[in-house]
Amino acid sequence: MYLCSKNKKDMAYKKGQDRRQRVLFPDCIDEYVEADAPVRLFDAFVDNLKMNELGFVRSTPAETGTPGYDPRDLLKLYIYGYFYQVRSSRKLARECKCNVEVMWLLNKLTPDFRTISDFRKDNKKAITKVFKEFNKFCMGLKLFSKSYISIDGSKFKAVNAKDNNLTLSKLDDRIKRLDEHISIYMEELEAYDHEEGRKLSKDELQRKLDVCKERKDRYEGYRDTLEKSGESQISLTDPDSRLMKANEGFCVGYNVQTAVDAESHMIAGFLVTNSPTDHGQLTSVASEVKADYGVDVLESTADKGYECPEDHADALANGIVPNVIQRDGSCAEQVQFDYNEANITDEQKSSTNPEDLKACLEAAVIPEAYKDFLTDAQIVEVKEYTSDVAESAVLKMTPEQMRAKALEGYFVRDAERNLVYCPQGEILRQKSIKRNGMIRYCNKLACKKCKCKCTIQKFKEADFNKDTLIKATEAKRKQLKEENKDKPKTPRMKVVKKVVRYVLHLDQNKMDNRKCLSEHPFGTMKRALGQYYFLLKGKLKVTAEMGLFCLSYNLRRAISLKGVPALIASLG
């Protein structure tokens, strides 16, 4: 019985060769790579690139010195790594020694991790161009329909922790707390000689005081830098990244815009921005895709986050039709241009040149290219009121005088530093710019324990237009109205200008199909490939890494549509 079961056990599994067995004729490494393996496409595609024209460093070998690595080999390694979720230079160096496909791809070369890392760092712009080169190849195979594109944005995390990102409001709060600590330590040092039984020695108190002063000086330096530059926040690890709201909460990262082709679902173009919202991004993304497509007029679609009348007018002037979903659910949008009277020729009317398109639109003439999209051209007069003359006195005030004026019951705006003093003397920082152009200022940290009801909002949110410098609180307004009820009102100056308004008719089918196009690439990159964060720092390097993200996605789509053998055959 025992022998029977033993024999049965020995027969249950296949046995491989002894790993210490020597063979006279070793196997060919090419036989280990299947004929339809994606790695064969990577090899053929990179071999067809003109590395010199793309701008790769050391694309021409040096005549003297120790031979270096061919940029083609290192580019193949990165394409393979991003395709198979291996992005770290150290992990890629390990793959060169233990991955058979990588051995085949690099002909058993084993570059160290520093060489691999430096290649990506030194060829930022060239790597971004490789993505476009693959798109050109796919356009030659007619994989891009060029009918219309869907634009959307998604947040990708940067190499920057939240604690290493400082906003102006956060800096104001930290400096205020440090001032309180410094005052306490100064008082304790002054009273040290008169009291006994203290927990901290005099040297320890002095050390803590010096640390607080050093931190305060550093934070004040950050604040001065931000106010001079006009920025609202600073990131210490990756200076180009910004704190922005994402699905999982707030993160420090980049807002990446992509344009997806309508039929192939391939990424036609991308743009890395540090803008926290998609507001006003449509034209910049679509213009580059339009140039790559080589079409006269390009239709695009986007969600409600891209609603921006000025951006849509700019898009039409550049040959782009923006089918942006409206908040009221309508299929029409009003666009406006400054009126510029001109004699439009038939040649200009039939042209698709951006200069001619803009000239027609400003002259209340609908171009031939937009006859199916625009109707109801109307020339109307609009009135714009100038700011109150009394506000000019605020421009001459010092920050101390502005704060003193605010304590009388006003919100006083310092336009130079882009902040507002509230009636309690606290500083409100810019939060956002509303769709109507009003700038919103608030300070949630200062308002948490404040019992003064300056506004009807939960927090002291004060809205200013670009020309307003001072606003009274509700209570102060009633008081002034009572005091000045017998005085004549000072008329506000008004400016009248002419504008041209059109009705842009939107394509409901394209807007309904938007989510099916834009969400899929982001979902694949973030969930399936784990590409929801960047490894590099700085906008240029991040753009190169995003180029590898999009290239790996487009490679997968092309393989799914055509297959590896057909793509290699097309490369010749």
Q: Could you report the per-residue pLDDT of 174-207, keeping only the tens digit for each?
A: 998 999 999 988 888 777 655 555 566 778 888 8
216 or 205: which leads in pLDDT: 216
According to DSSP, residue 506 is labeled P
SS3 content of the chain, % helix, strand, coil (to 5): 45, 20, 35
Assigned token pair, 103? 């051995």
**Alpha helices by DSSP H, 155-247:** 168-190, 202-229
CB atoms within 10 A of CB 500: 20
Per DSSP, what are the bridge partners of residue 77?
A: none
The per-residue pLDDT of the chain, averaged, comes to 88
Pick from 298, 280, 277: nearest CA to 288: 298
Predicted confidence at residue 384, as pLDDT, reads 67
Predicted confidence at residue 414, as pLDDT, reads 87
Per DSSP, what are the bridge partners of residue 242?
A: 253
CB 412 within 8 A of CB 421: yes
CB 460 within 8 A of CB 443: yes
According to DSSP, residue 388 is labeled P
Q: What is the pLDDT of residues 227-281, one digit of tens each?
A: 888 788 999 999 999 999 888 888 999 999 999 999 999 999 999 999 988 988 9
Average pLDDT score over residue span 536-554: 96
Assigned token pair, 234? 């600073």
CB 311 within 8 A of CB 283: yes
CB 271 within 8 A of CB 284: yes
- Residue 4's pLDDT band (cuts 50, 70, 90): low
Assigned token pair, 488? 């004549």
Strands 470-472, 267-273: parallel, antiparallel or unpaired by DSSP?
Answer: unpaired
| Angle (nearest 5°) at CA 328 between 327 and 333 | 85
- Residue 424's pLDDT band (cuts 50, 70, 90): confident
Predicted confidence at residue 489, as pLDDT, reads 60
Distance of CA 272 to the CA centre of its chain: 5
Checking if the pLDDT of 288 tops 70, the result is yes
According to DSSP, residue 370 is labeled G
Report the C-alpha gap between 293 and 262 in whole angstroms: 13
Query: Could you state, in order of their start, the residue ranges of all structural domains in the chain?
Result: 25-141+563-571, 162-235, 389-492
Q: What is the pLDDT of residues 498-512, one digit of tens each?
A: 999 999 999 999 999
**199-203, 462-466, 557-561: which is most confident:** 557-561
Average pLDDT score over residue span 203-225: 91
CB 427 within 8 A of CB 421: yes
Of 14-18, 426-430, 562-566, which gets the smallest average pLDDT?
14-18
CB atoms within 10 A of CB 352: 14
This prediction's pTM: 0.84
Provide, rounded to the nearest whole percent, the portion of the chain with pLDDT above 70.
Answer: 91
CB 316 within 8 A of CB 340: no
Of 45-59, 241-255, 482-496, which gets the smallest average pLDDT?
482-496
- 19-45 in b/e form (b: 16+ CB < 10 A) is eeeeeeeeeeeeeebeeeebbbbbbbb
Q: How many Cα atoms sit within 13 Å of 293 on the Cβ side?
A: 28
Report the C-alpha gap between 303 and 152 in whole angstroms: 7
CB 374 within 8 A of CB 503: yes
Report the C-alpha gap between 290 and 138 in whole angstroms: 16
**End-to-end Cα, the chain, rounded Å:** 65
| Angle (nearest 5°) at CA 114 between 108 and 117 | 90
- 202-225 in b/e form (b: 16+ CB < 10 A) is eeebeebbeebeeebeebeebbee
129 or 467: which leads in pLDDT: 129
The dihedral sign for the CA sequence 501, 502, 508, 510: negative
Predicted confidence at residue 1, as pLDDT, reads 46
Coil, helix or strand at residue 486: coil
Report the C-alpha gap between 499 and 334 in whole angstroms: 12
227, with CB counted inside 10 A (0-12, 13-18, 19+), is middle
Pick from 44, 43, 73, 69: nearest CA to 58: 69
Of 140-144, 273-277, 380-384, 496-500, which gets the smallest average pLDDT?
380-384
According to DSSP, residue 495 is labeled E
Predicted confidence at residue 12, as pLDDT, reads 72
